[in-house]
Amino acid sequence: MSIISILFLIALAIIALFLVAMHVGFRAPRTRETKTPEDFGMAFQQVFIPTASNKKLFAWLLPVENAIATNIILHGWGGNAEWMLPIAKPFHKAGMNVLLFDSRCHGNSDGAMFSSLPRFAEDLSFVANWLKDQYPQRCQKLVFTGHSVGAGAVLLEASRRKDIDAVISISAFAHPEWMMKRFLGGFRIPKILTRVILAYVQWLIGLRFANFAPVSTVCHIDAPVLIVHGKADTVVPVEDAHAIIEHCPEPHLSLFEVDDAGHESVDKFEENSRYLVEFLQKEGVIGS
């Protein structure tokens, strides 16, 4: 075997190992639920919602008698429906139906080859359509709420629909390329390798980052949007929230910054939930 053939095989092996490492490194950690809404004082129905490729999504429907508005709440990367229960409770108490679900590869939902923001949005689309088909009276008014990657996903899906009455985006990054560069920067990866990784991820997802970046998708949403962000967020700095608002300075977009809240500070967001509820009341989604 020639030296060129050997070098070629070594190069192929390196590329193969690199791709495997990429998939392992960016795979969403799966954490299954250990509590239910009942532990938070809320009655619920457990359902499985069909989605793409015969996959099923685990979900909890928290009904409120005679309520015609429903808030679909979506967790972030590596999260699950249980993690969002503290945020769900104030909306439920305010008189809204709430539906929480696990995106594919998360919680108790079925798996897939990979997860991504567009796949989160695709799952949200299936959930919203299922809800409107099964319980049309409960979702005469429909709200999307998401956290982190889920926050970007609700903005993406809302930008594609005309049947959404309000959107609440919590801790969203402004652009996936910015987010990935921040993450990869911690490993001191050469710039050329960073470009290769970014190109490969876009190829794998099947979309360019610009096509689903919150800084862009928010401009295509007709419904009122509340961008919520923690001032102490070190994963996604609050400047990302500023960039989203500044890029699309429309009157139906507003920003609420939470003091001392980090990226995963669900407790801080829950403490300030009255502002989120008041936003929906002001927009006429629920009564005051």
Calculate mean pLDDT across residues 235-241: 95
Model pTM?
0.88
Query: Residue 130's pLDDT is what?
Result: 97
DSSP letter at 52 equals: G
Query: Residue 11's pLDDT is what?
Result: 45
Calculate mean pLDDT across residues 9-28: 53
Summarised one tens digit per residue, pLDDT across range 35-58 is 999 999 999 999 999 998 889 999
| Tokens standing for residue 199 | 């190109």
Quick one: which of 123, 117, 125, 77 has its CA closest to 201? 117
Query: Residue 12's pLDDT is what?
Result: 47
Query: Residue 19's pLDDT is what?
Result: 55
Half-sphere exposure of 70 (CA within 13 A, CB side): 25
Contact 84, 76 (CB under 8 A): no
With a CB cutoff of 8 Å and minimum separation 6, the contacts of 139 are: 68, 69, 70, 97, 128, 131, 132
Q: What are phi and psi of 226, to 5 degrees?
A: -110, 115
Considering only residues 75 and 202, tell me which one the structure prediction assigns the higher pLDDT: 75
Rg (CA), the chain: 20
Quick one: which of 166, 143, 160 has its CA closest to 225? 166
Beta bridge partners of 58: 48
Query: Residue 123's pLDDT is what?
Result: 96
Query: Residue 151's pLDDT is what?
Result: 97
The whole-angstrom separation of Cα 31 and Cα 20 is 22
Calculate mean pLDDT across residues 176-193: 79
| Structural element, H or E, at residue 218 | none
